[in-house]
Amino acid sequence: MDNRDLALYPFISGASVYVGSLGFSLDRLITSRALDLARARGRERVIQSLSGEIKKPLLTGSDEGPVLIELLSYPFARILVSCINDPFLTRRYSLAEAVAAYALLKTRDVDFLCDLGTDFGITATPSNSYFDINFTDYIKLASSMKDLKWKLVNRKLDHGNVHIAKEEFARLLQETVRERIQDSLPLEAGRKICESCTSYLDEIKVILDERKTEYGAGDFGAVESELFPPCIAHSIANTRAGVNLAHSMRFAMTSFLLKVGMTSDDIINMFNVSPDFDVEKTRYQIEHISGSSGTTYIPPSCNTMKTYGNCYGADELCKRVNHPLNYYRRKLWFKERDTAKGESQEDGRGNSKDSSTENCKESCKDSSTGKGEEKGKVEGSEQK
């Protein structure tokens, strides 16, 4: 690989060796005015990762300057991520670097992909435009892929080898890149180094906080996102952080969000940072759940969520409901009650008992109590 390849794929071992041979000390990387552009590009990499896409430059021509900037920006970006040491940022940054690499890998020839695979300890034998990978390596590589097409039972197996297309091999390499970067962070940067990077870190932290609170503060119209049950809030946070959800949790989250009033486009925008995001497939799945096939689906009950291991962070209210939608209904009622009570007190009517309170108590009763059962039921089809 030449220097341009090392700059575009800075996570490979050859890039680390080459940077070391340049003789740049860590102090020089952080403080030298001659490396201002490399540090600015490193900051840009981190900021771009928060939007889900790191844009790679076109390294053409004989000028080595842009190559060096891109190459040195990577270790500086890793220092910035390590100084902030936020799991959300670490996952987003690792995923964004891997996705950017995948966009390039899809266009590379078979020999280049084999060389890159070797750097990760992957032995792939090219066969025309396909690759043969030992099934044990394949299982390890595809373990984080949730789409059913990646399951070994759905692949062609011949004499212990799995037959995969070139683009599929590039996609598996994306996962190995993500894991390598994520597992290597945070670095032991040290307080002195991080203090020297304060001007870069402050800007990133502001954007990071905005990105992390985007879900909670998002305007979903009439949807009260802060009232979502813990399981749904957790799955959304993971989705926005680029964590690949299990199919059962994707269904639960999507069906819940549709039921409470979010649009298909809102939900698609949440999934667009997922490791195996495919906009057309995602739209089809969401519209299918919303009823385009003639069947309207509802979120799984709490018992079903527990069965699939999707119940997370249950609070006191969770103990009194049997369905995520009932949790949301009760939270809405509590909020409306508190709002009405505040307005009543301001008007000097705080001591009068609102009969709607008693009515809502009955309508919000959990069906597991045996009372208000019809009120607690939800209509439609539930995924079992």
What is the structure's pLDDT at 298? 84
Per-residue pLDDT tens digits for 107-130: 999 999 999 999 999 989 998 778
Binned at pLDDT 50, 70 and 90, residue 361 comes out as: very low
What is the structure's pLDDT at 216? 39
Residue 32 pLDDT greater than 90, yes or no: yes
What is the structure's pLDDT at 283? 83
Per-residue pLDDT tens digits for 2-26: 899 999 999 999 999 999 999 888 9
Residue 343 pLDDT greater than 90, yes or no: no
If one counts every other C-beta atom within 10 angstroms of the C-beta of residue 375, the result is 15
**Distance, CA of 22 to chain centre:** 35
What token pair was written down for 373? Answer: 């059962």
What is the structure's pLDDT at 354? 45
What value does the mean pLDDT take over residues 326-347? 81
Which is nearest to 166 in space by CA: 219, 113, 204, 241? 113
> DSSP letter at 358?
H
% the chain with pLDDT above 90: 50
What is the structure's pLDDT at 282? 84
Per-residue pLDDT tens digits for 165-182: 999 999 999 999 999 999
Residue 244 pLDDT greater than 90, yes or no: no
Residue 347 pLDDT greater than 80, yes or no: no
Residue 371 pLDDT greater than 60, yes or no: no
Q: How far apart are CA 28 and CA 34, in angstroms?
A: 9
What is the structure's pLDDT at 276? 65
What is the structure's pLDDT at 127? 82
Higher-confidence position of 192 and 337: 192
What value does the mean pLDDT take over residues 180-186? 94
Per-residue pLDDT tens digits for 188-207: 989 999 999 999 999 999 99
What is the structure's pLDDT at 209? 83
What token pair was written down for 204? Answer: 């990133």
Binned at pLDDT 50, 70 and 90, residue 370 comes out as: very low
Per-residue pLDDT tens digits for 273-325: 666 677 778 888 888 888 776 676 889 999 999 999 999 989 999 999 999 99
Which is nearest to 310 in space by CA: 224, 248, 353, 223? 248
Contacts of residue 269, Cβ cutoff 8 Å, sequence gap at least 6? none
Q: Mean pLDDT score of the chain, rounded to an integer? A: 83
Per-residue pLDDT tens digits for 133-168: 999 999 988 887 767 788 899 898 889 999 999 999
Higher-confidence position of 213 and 209: 209
Residue 349 pLDDT greater than 70, yes or no: no
**pTM score, two decimals?**
0.63
The SS3 of residue 130 is strand
Residue 362 pLDDT greater than 50, yes or no: no
Which residue pairs, CB below 8 angstroms and at least 24 apart, start in 162-166? 162/132, 162/133, 162/134, 162/135, 162/138, 163/127, 163/130, 163/131, 163/132, 164/130, 164/131, 164/132, 164/133, 164/138, 165/129, 165/130, 165/131, 166/106, 166/110, 166/113, 166/129, 166/130, 166/131
What is the structure's pLDDT at 333? 87
Q: How far apart are CA 316 and CA 95, in angstroms?
A: 35
Which is nearest to 52 in space by CA: 250, 209, 280, 269? 269
Higher-confidence position of 222 and 22: 22
What is the structure's pLDDT at 310? 93
